[in-house]
Amino acid sequence: MSAITRRRFGALIGLGAATALPPLVSSGRARPRVVVVGGGAGGATVARYLVRDSSGALDVTLVERSKRYTSCFFSNLYLGDRRDLGSITHRYDTLAAMEGLSVVHDRAVGVERERKVVTLAGGDELPYDRLVLSPGIELVHDSVPGYSEAAAGIAPHAWRGGAQTALLKAKLDALENGQNIVMVVPPNPYRCPPGPYERVSMMAHVLKMKGFEASTITIIDAKSTFSKQALFAEGWERYYGGMIEWLPPEIHGGVTAVDARAGTVETDFDTFEGALLNIIPAQRAGAIASDAGLADDSGFCPIEAGSMRSRIDPNVFVVGDASVAGAMPKSAFSANSQARVAALVIRGELLGTAVPRADYANTCWSLIAPEDAVKIGARYEAGEDGTIVGTSSFVSDTGEEAELREATYRESLDWYDAIIADMFG
Amino acid sequence: MAARVRAKIPESVTVGEVFTIRTLVSHRMESGLREHADGRLVPRDIINRFEATFEGERVFAVDIEPGIAANPFLEFTARIEKAGTLVLSWTDDAGEVTTYTQGIALA
């Protein structure tokens, strides 16, 4: 079977109703240009795979505002004194040194889809044949009444890595015994579904290590259930009995006002006071994607399940948290997996290489206490209904032996090293 | 174990109006079925009884069993014919009683 046939087969299966695009293989002009916006788990992976696997046949530009990347994943381990901030901060130097890859540290401010050009804050224009957007999330601060970008300077969300994470850690470390934490958790969909509960575990661990057993953590959740709930409930009872209180909307009735300065979260049920408020607002696709008209009413970007191609513009791919990825949760693992699929499809279109059928995977590990980690994960593919669907899944059990939990923790550490290497080389 | 109470009860209602009382009490609700790491059972310590009285008359009561999760939340409705005082009380296995008192006026 020839490569062309396999590619067509893959295109039929994976791309579904995608607009057929002529390959640029024999166009005789300069190398096809791919612009990637966003240097996180999705964007860095796409850029690296495109360059690594195309033998210099593609002209790839990665646009990333920051020179250093502090991962949001594993930031809870920093809160819990398991990692320092330096160990989750990475540079783009190795990527930038790859031949065929330009890393541009600037802010992408707009996409002109008609002209196929990305505009940078510095005024430069980057033309593309294919564009990959991996902008992550935009926080919808005012989804929580009384919350704002300014309030986030007092009551951090810490739902993006870096400065917000450091602020939350400083506030956590400044708490005194008997002072309380109140966390507000957003409705689905949001980045890292089990993240708030791992964070609560790590913050409770820090309080417990200091002997601050008079302090409590109250979770005001917009959801009635949450990821790995039975595992967290078991762990919280075991390690942090009496410290953690989780309130679903059936109890609190909804947040009516947050006052960051006063340290209060008012709900329909009662007013909760905390010396530390951690307010995680609702989220939507990064602004560059929604400004380009690539998001739908959900605030996120619909994609074709077999390729991560935008359903709105066939020259654009959206990977990671900004996409509507069906059954896949918004996670770094998912973004990395989607990025690999997008890279294969883009290479196939631009260079005529084989495109295997899309196969995605995700695993989310959560640390409940030092060396006690649990996980949930699945494999995914393009479903007949046009969305990404799960094909097989696994989740840790309650009551597992300590050795297994420790092995799960070590697995998560190995994964971290592996994804960082996959992103940054 | 001393418990912290949160409650939402209207301060005034009209005669005969059905109103909602929502209460949340913080308590570990140790079921007595959980094992320490060494295999010994963690002793049971739960709130086993909740009562609500209005002007001394019982309006609502529940026997609570070990299957109820930590921080039990109770919601029930009542109506009154006159102004008065509502007293909520939770009794745990140690015999400790936590109470919450609120007056309700007629609008």
With an 8 Å Cβ cutoff, are A269 and B70 in contact? no
Flag whether residue A215 sits within 8 Å of chain B, measured between CB atoms.
no
Determine whether the interchain pair B24/A247 forms a contact, defined as Cβ–Cβ distance below 8 Å.
Answer: yes
Structure tokens given for A330: 């918004």
Flag whether residue A242 sits within 8 Å of chain B, measured between CB atoms: yes
Nearest CB to A245 within list B1, B7, B26:
B26
Q: Is residue A378 part of a domain?
A: no
- Among candidates B6, B28, B34 on the partner chain, residue whose Cβ is nearest the Cβ of A270: B6
Please indicate, yes or no, whether residues A132 and A148 belong to a single structural domain of this protein.
Answer: no
Structure tokens at B38: 């060494």
Residue A71 at interface with chain B, using a CB cutoff of 8 Å: no
Residues A159 and A275 in one domain: yes
- Taking contacts as CB-CB distances below 8 angstroms, the residues of chain A near B9 are none
Question: What residue in B sits closest to A238 (Cα-Cα)?
Answer: B36
Q: Are residues A148 and A279 in the same domain?
A: yes
Contact A245 B28 (CB under 8 A): no
Contacts of A251 in chain B (CB under 8 A): 22, 24, 73
Per-residue pLDDT of chain B (107 residues; tens, 9 = 90+): 456 899 999 999 999 999 999 999 988 898 998 888 788 998 999 999 999 999 999 999 999 999 888 889 999 999 999 999 999 999 999 999 999 999 999 98
Instruction: Name the token pair of B52.
Output: 């609500």
Output the pLDDT for position A17. Answer: 42
Q: Which among A242, A250, A268 is the nearest to B28, CB-wise? A: A242
Residues of B in contact with A178 (CB under 8 A): none
- Residue A241 in contact with partner chain B when CB distance is under 8 A: yes
Residues A213 and A117 in one domain: no
**Spatial distance between the Cα atoms of A340 and A412, rounded to a whole number of angstroms:** 20
CB pairs under 8 A between A and B: 29
One domain for residues A151 and A201: yes
Query: Are A279 and A148 part of one and the same domain?
Result: yes
When CB atoms are compared, the residue of B24, B28, B34 closest to A251 is B24
- A245 and A152 within one domain: yes
Strand ranges inside A80-199, DSSP E: 89-91, 101-104, 108-112, 117-120, 125-127, 130-133, 137-140, 181-185
Cα distances (angstroms) measured from residue B38 to each of A368, A407, B31, B34, B66 = 20, 21, 17, 11, 22
Structural domain for A81, as ranges = 3-136+286-357
Search chain A and give the residue with CA nearest B69.
A233
- Whether B26 sits inside 8 A of A216 (CB atoms) is yes
CATH node for B5-106: 2.60.40.10
Task: Give the separation between CA B68 and CA B78, rounded to whole angstroms.
Answer: 23
Q: Which of B38, B71, B100 to mutate to test the interface with A (most CBs of A within 10 A)?
A: B71
A216 inside 8 A of chain B by CB = yes
Say yes or no for a CB contact (<8 Å) between B28 and A241. Answer: yes
Contact at CB, A242 and B26, closer than 8 angstroms: yes
Number of domains into which chain A is organized: 2
Pair (A268, A301) in one structural domain: no
Q: Answer whether A287's CB lies under 8 Å from A107's CB.
A: no
Does the distance separating the beta carbons of B22 and A269 come in below 8 Å? yes
Closest alpha carbon within chain B to A218: B26
| Interface check A251 vs B, CB under 8 A | yes
Q: Is A367 exposed, middle or buried (0-12, 13-18, 19+ CB in 10 A)?
A: buried
**A307, A357 in Cβ contact below 8 A?**
no
Strands (E), A64-212: 68-70, 89-91, 101-104, 108-112, 117-120, 125-127, 130-133, 137-140, 181-185
Nearest by CB to residue A237, choosing from B7, B26, B70, is B70
Residue B86 tokens, joined = 């509502």
Contacts of B34 in chain A (CB under 8 A): 237-238
| CATH at A345 | 3.50.50.60
Rg of chain A, C-alpha, whole Å: 22
What pLDDT does A213 receive?
Answer: 87
| CA–CA min distance B74, chain A (Å) | 9
Q: How far is CA A96 from CA A44, A91, A103, A132, A421, in A?
A: 11, 10, 5, 18, 14
- Give rounded-to-5 percent helix, strand, coil for chain A: 30, 25, 40
Chain B contact present for A254, CB below 8 A: no
Q: Residue A51: in which H helix or E strand, if any? A: helix A43-52
Query: How confident is chain A (425 residues) per 10-residue block, as mean pLDDT?
Result: 41 43 56 98 98 95 97 97 96 96 97 98 96 98 98 97 95 98 98 98 98 95 96 94 93 97 97 98 98 98 98 98 98 98 98 97 98 98 97 96 97 98 97
A398 shares contact with chain B (CB less than 8 Å): no
Residues 118-157 of A with CB under 8 A from B: none
Q: What predicted TM-score, i.e. pTM, was given to this entire model?
A: 0.91
Give the closest residue to A70 by CA, choosing from A52, A60, A81, A83.
Answer: A83
A328, A357, A386: which is the final residue of a domain? A357
Domain boundary pick from A357, A392, A408: A357
Residues of B in contact with A238 (CB under 8 A): 34
Task: Evaluate whether residue A191 is within a structural domain.
Answer: yes
Please indicate, yes or no, whether residues A206 and A154 belong to a single structural domain of this protein: yes
Q: Which of A327, A357, A387 is the last residue of a domain?
A: A357
Nearest-neighbour CA in chain B from A247: distance (Å): 9
Closest residue, chain B, to A246 (C-alpha): B71
